[in-house]
Chains A and B, each alone.
Chain A
Amino acid sequence: MERTTMDLWVGIFAALGAAAILGLAMKVGNLTSSSIGETYTVTAAFENVGSLKPKAPVKSAGVVVGRVDKIQFDPKTYEALVTLKVDKRYPFPKDTFASIYTAGLLGEQYIGLEAGGDESNLKNGDKIKHTQDAVVLEKMISQFLYNKASDTKPSESTDTK
């Protein structure tokens, strides 16, 4: 084989490889969509984060506005301290409400932000004061069963007559 054609083929091969990696990054991966750009960091304390994980989305009105950066345990207050990175383009008022929701019945958990009415906005390093914990299914079921049991006990006497 001629040397120049061989070089040409190797060049095409390398270009195809670069195109494939670029295609994987852009079309398949989240390099284009997840790069939130400039962010500011806020923290929020929850009594229970459920199965929230780092990198989980932070949504407001269903739109992704940021990501969970890290989740730590605060040994003083015995609460989970969640650090959120929110896109700089979306300022939120100081009395924003942060709650942990589940996407679908068994889906992954995310943080929902509901804007309050305060005049001033959250700044870098601020703490969100109003939070709502994750719903723990076992707790809910046991509470439901407990309520059910306490409901039916007095009515038992009426049932038997």
Chain B
Amino acid sequence: MFDRIGKALSGTGHRIIDRIWRFGSAARMFVYVLLSSADSFKRIRIVTKEIYSTGVLSLVIILVSAFFVGMVLALQGYNTLQKYGSSEAIGVLVALALVRELGPVVTALLFAGRAGTAITAEIGLMKTTEQLSAMEMMAVSPISRVIAPRFWAGVISMPILAALFSMVGILGGYLVAVPIIGVDSGAFWSQMQANVDFRDDIVNGIIKSVVFGVACSMIALFEGYDAPPTAEGVSRATTRTVVNSSLAVLGLDFILTSFMIHT
């Protein structure tokens, strides 16, 4: 009996220590990436290539989902707001929801699914096929040649994608609210402009998306770099990237929001 409890406890303890150890090595890798990122900015071409594969290729999924999210927000918002006779506030609702929360968060979740997994699988496979070790043999640091450019590409792409998400979402909301439902176009934009603050809403949204960019790319890179060099290991690492990125984004979002909202 006591034996079994002891085993269960030590299993839990082992898992916790393992998590903390992995977190620590991820933090050390983060510092190392920051230290060796000067090299990757010297060869900006590598970064542009990664921006193409993480940012530009994510454009389609981001823009299409933004459009639908905006349209759904407008429909749902109108349905509730018209009960209180304030259907002109639909523009404010759509804009604030997108700029403050949905833009950065949904972009980060989609980014983790679309680009994060690709990064993890790529790095994991590079490790499995011993390309990273080969680089080290040639005295090329894989951190500054492979990891840092991908990290900066993610950090640069994320705010751009989030801003595009918000803008396209608002256009989608406009398309539902004004021509289909029949809210006045002037009221839609003027109420929005009166209630969306540049510093408090838009800049904070951009700050959020930069933080999510750091978190998502770092998690994807670390999971890939840390993956066991087997097919199963890479597949597990890819799953962990999505799970951990999503949890990190939602948790960080709460922390950032609680710092940003002051009434």
Contacts and interface: CB of A to CB of B under 8 A. Distances in A.
Interface string B92-107: 0001000100000000
A20 B167 contact: yes
B202 A25 contact: yes
B160 A28 contact: no
20 contacts: A1-B52, A6-B52, A9-B56, A13-B56, A13-B59, A13-B160, A17-B164, A20-B166, A21-B206, A24-B163, A24-B167, A28-B99, A28-B166, A28-B193, A28-B202, A29-B197, A30-B194, A30-B196, A31-B198, A32-B193
A39 to B, nearest CB: 17
Closest 8 CB pairs of A and B: A17-B160, A20-B163, A29-B198, A20-B167, A31-B198, A20-B164, A21-B163, A13-B56
Given A3-B45, A21-B206, A28-B170, 18 more contacts: A9-B52, A10-B51, A10-B52, A10-B55, A13-B52, A13-B59, A13-B160, A14-B160, A17-B163, A21-B202, A23-B167, A24-B202, A28-B95, A29-B193, A29-B201, A30-B197, A31-B198, A33-B194
Contacts of A34: 197-198
Interface string A119-160: 000000000000000000000000000000000000000000
A31 B45 CA distance: 35
Nearest to A13: B56
Interface of A: 1, 3, 6-7, 9-10, 12-14, 16-17, 20-21, 23-25, 27-34, 55
A8 B159 CA distance: 19
Give the interface centre of A10, A23, A33 by most chain B CB atoms within 10 Å.
Answer: A10
Contact of B55 (A3, A13, A23, A28): A13
A27 to B, nearest CB: 7
